[in-house]
Amino acid sequence: MAGPLDGVRVVDLSTVIAGPYATQMLGEMGAEIIKIEPPTGDIMRAPGPGRSPGMGATFLNCNRNKRSLILDLKDPAALAELLGLIADADVFVHSMRMAAALRLGLGQEALLARNPRLIYCAIVGFGQDGPYRDRPAYDDIVQAAAGWAGLQARVGGEPRYAPTIVADKTTALFAVGAINAALYHRAGSGRGQAIEVPMFEAMVSFLSVEHLSGLTYRPPLGESGYGRTLSPNRRPYRTQDGYIAAMPYTAAHWRAFFRAAGRDDWAAEEALGSDRARAGMIDELYARLASCLATLPTAEWLALLQPLDVPCAPVNSIEDLLDDPHLRAVGFFEETHHPSEGAIISPRHPVRFSGTPCTAGLPAPKLPRHRKS
Q: Specify whether 163 is located in the same domain as 302.
A: no
Mean per-residue pLDDT, 336-360: 93
Domain that holds residue 251: 237-314
Q: Specify whether 32 is located in the same domain as 130.
A: yes
Give the integer Cα–Cα distance in Å for 86 and 82.
Answer: 6
Residue 331 pLDDT more than 60? yes
**For residue 29, with 0-12 CB atoms within 10 Å meaning exposed, 13-18 middle and 19 or more buried, which class applies?**
buried
Domain membership flag for residue 230: no
Q: How confident is the model at residue 261 (pLDDT cuts 50, 70, 90)?
A: very high
Type of residue at 209: V
Mean per-residue pLDDT, 44-69: 95
Q: Specify whether 30 is located in the same domain as 132.
A: yes
Domain membership flag for residue 116: yes
3-state secondary structure (DSSP) of residue 15: coil
* pLDDT for position 361: 81
Type of residue at 284: E
Q: Specify whether 72 is located in the same domain as 193.
A: yes
Q: Which residues pair with 70 in a beta bridge?
A: 37
Average pLDDT of the chain? 95
Domain membership flag for residue 131: yes
Give the integer Cα–Cα distance in Å for 166 and 244.
Answer: 24
Q: Which residues pair with 244 in a beta bridge?
A: 237, 314
Domain membership flag for residue 229: no
Q: Specify whether 194 is located in the same domain as 255.
A: no
* pLDDT for position 370: 54
Q: How confident is the model at residue 32 (pLDDT cuts 50, 70, 90)?
A: very high
Type of residue at 356: T
Q: Specify whether 297 is located in the same domain as 164.
A: no
* pLDDT for position 26: 98
pLDDT tens-digit series, residues 136-159? 999 999 999 999 999 999 998 899
* pLDDT for position 372: 45
Q: Specify whether 116 is located in the same domain as 47.
A: yes
Q: How confident is the model at residue 371 (pLDDT cuts 50, 70, 90)?
A: low
Quote the percentage of the chain above a pLDDT of 70.
99
Give the integer Cα–Cα distance in Å for 361 and 111.
Answer: 30
Domain membership flag for residue 265: yes
Give the integer Cα–Cα distance in Å for 355 and 371.
Answer: 38
Q: Specify whether 293 is located in the same domain as 175.
A: no
Q: Do the beta carbons of residue 350 and residue 373 sit within 8 Å?
A: no
What is the C-alpha end-to-end distance of the chain, expressed in Å? 30
- Cis peptide before 297, with omega less than 30 degrees from 0? no
* pLDDT for position 156: 82
CA distances in angstroms from 328 to 15, 298, 347, listed in the order given:
32, 22, 11
Domain membership flag for residue 83: yes
CA distances in angstroms from 75 to 72, 162, 167, 238, listed in the order given:
6, 40, 33, 60
CB atoms within 10 A of CB 95: 26
Mean per-residue pLDDT, 179-207: 98
For the chain, helix, strand, coil in percent to 5 are: 45, 15, 45
Q: Which of the pair, 151 or 372, is modelled with greater confidence?
A: 151
Residue 16 pLDDT more than 70? yes
Mean per-residue pLDDT, 335-350: 93
**Looking at residue 112, which CATH number applies to its domain?**
3.40.50.10540
Which phi and psi (to 5°) does residue 28 adopt? -65, -25
Q: Do the beta carbons of residue 68 and residue 35 sit within 8 Å?
A: yes
Quote the percentage of the chain above a pLDDT of 90.
96
* pLDDT for position 18: 98
Domain count, the chain: 2
Q: Specify whether 175 is located in the same domain as 270.
A: no
Q: Specify whether 21 is located in the same domain as 117.
A: yes
Q: Which of 82, 118, 106 is nearest to 192 (CA)?
A: 118
**Looking at residue 247, which CATH number applies to its domain?**
3.30.1540.10
Mean per-residue pLDDT, 2-24: 97
Domain membership flag for residue 366: no
Domain membership flag for residue 324: no
Q: Specify whether 167 is located in the same domain as 244.
A: no
Q: Which residues, at least 6 apart from 182, have a Cβ–Cβ distance to it below 8 Å? A: 119, 121, 192, 193, 195
- Count how many residues are written for the chain: 373
Which phi and psi (to 5°) does residue 12 adopt? -110, 105
Q: Specify whether 153 is located in the same domain as 58.
A: yes
Q: How confident is the model at residue 373 (pLDDT cuts 50, 70, 90)?
A: very low
CB atoms within 10 A of CB 20: 28
